């Protein structure tokens, strides 16, 4: 499916500020599931220097360094992508009979270390949900992530929350609701508590619903031997296919945030506005 994304992020400050270096993670991730046809980034005020590179987790990022003062910062992108996966289950699991909690072979365990947790590191409420999903999936690693995503979608409420970091998984369970990034953190932590490597993903999801404006989105990915990194969206209770566009993936949500940066100034407040439009077709 060909999708075109227009994304505008605007910060307005109550008085002139100096902008510290910013990291921008808005370039769609190119992999076996997605091809970037075109991408354009504009920043106002224009940075003194900007540089595109890869971060330690393989995400395309832009570093921007600014000079002077400003009362606003606007970051605008336009991306055209082809999404390539229509069947998210087209793979065969290596070691399909190995039950949860899962233990990777030593070479994989070392390479995936930052995406895993010690067996009892997750809070009790998170482990409890993870164990229930494991029971429902008959401790089958291929079924577990699918069952877990559906359980989170069915049991927890979805709320919009434009600003702020993702909340801890146990807080989401206690509140009984969360934004997409909160539900993604819960999914990731539950997978990790079952021995599976998992990571947080930021991006977009095309709904085709003209009545519902598009926005940034978040979900989780779990590493399955034979399947590689596989996305699951706990906000919708489904496996990720051709309607999701990943921007960045990381072990921690902060390292996948679309924009990271601060400003210098005393007694300054700021307002954030985002606009996202996604259309399908050539």
The residues near 199 (Cβ < 8 Å, ≥ 6 apart) are: 57, 115, 188, 220, 221, 229, 249, 250, 251
Instruction: Round to whole Å and give the CA distance between 196 and 200.
Output: 13
Residue keyed to tokens 């082809």: 82
Identify the structural domains of the chain with CATH numbers, from first to last.
2-84+258-280 (2.60.40.2250), 106-256 (3.10.620.30)
For the chain, first and last CA: distance in Å?
A: 9
Distances (CA, A) of 237 to 152, 180, 195: 7, 11, 21
**Which pTM does this prediction carry?**
0.95
Instruction: Round to whole Å and give the CA distance between 95 and 205.
Output: 32
Residue 147's H or E segment, with its range, is: helix 141-155
What tens-digit pLDDT sequence spans the chain (282 residues)? 999 999 999 999 999 999 999 999 999 999 999 999 999 999 999 999 999 999 999 999 999 999 999 999 999 999 999 999 999 999 999 888 888 999 999 999 999 999 999 877 899 999 999 999 999 999 998 899 999 999 999 999 999 887 788 999 999 999 999 999 999 999 999 999 999 999 999 999 999 887 777 899 999 999 999 999 999 999 999 999 999 999 999 999 999 999 999 999 999 999 999 999 999 986
């Amino acid at each position: 499916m060909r999708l075109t994304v227009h994304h505008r992020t605007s910060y307005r400050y109550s008085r002139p500020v100096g902008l510290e270096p910013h990291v921008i993670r808005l370039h769609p991730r190119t992999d076996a599931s997605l091809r970037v046809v075109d991408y354009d980034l504009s920043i106002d005020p224009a940075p003194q220097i900007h540089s595109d590179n890869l971060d330690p987790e393989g995400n395309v990022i832009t570093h921007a360094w600014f000079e002077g003062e400003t009362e606003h910062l606007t970051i605008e992108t336009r991306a055209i992508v082809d999404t390539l996966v229509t069947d998210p289950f087209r793979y065969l699991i290596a070691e399909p009979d190995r039950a949860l909690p899962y233990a990777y072979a030593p070479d994989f365990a070392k390479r995936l270390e930052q995406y895993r947790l010690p067996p009892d590191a997750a809070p009790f409420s998170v482990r409890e949900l993870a164990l229930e999903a494991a029971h429902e999936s008959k401790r089958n690693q291929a079924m577990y992530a699918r069952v877990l995503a559906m359980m989170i979608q069915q049991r927890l409420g979805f709320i919009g929350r434009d600003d702020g970091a993702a909340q801890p998984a146990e807080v989401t369970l206690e509140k009984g609701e969360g934004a997409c990034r909160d539900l993604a953190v819960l999914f990731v932590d539950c997978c990790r508590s079952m021995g599976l490597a998992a990571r947080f993903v930021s991006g977009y999801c095309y709904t085709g619903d003209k009545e519902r404006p598009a926005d940034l989105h978040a979900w989780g990915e779990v590493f399955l031997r034979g399947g590689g990194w596989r996305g699951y969206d706990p906000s919708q209770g489904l496996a990720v296919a051709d309607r999701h566009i990943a921007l960045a993936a990381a072990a921690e949500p902060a390292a996948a945030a679309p924009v990271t940066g601060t400003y210098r100034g005393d007694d300054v407040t700021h307002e954030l506005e985002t606009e996202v439009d996604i259309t399908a077709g050539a």
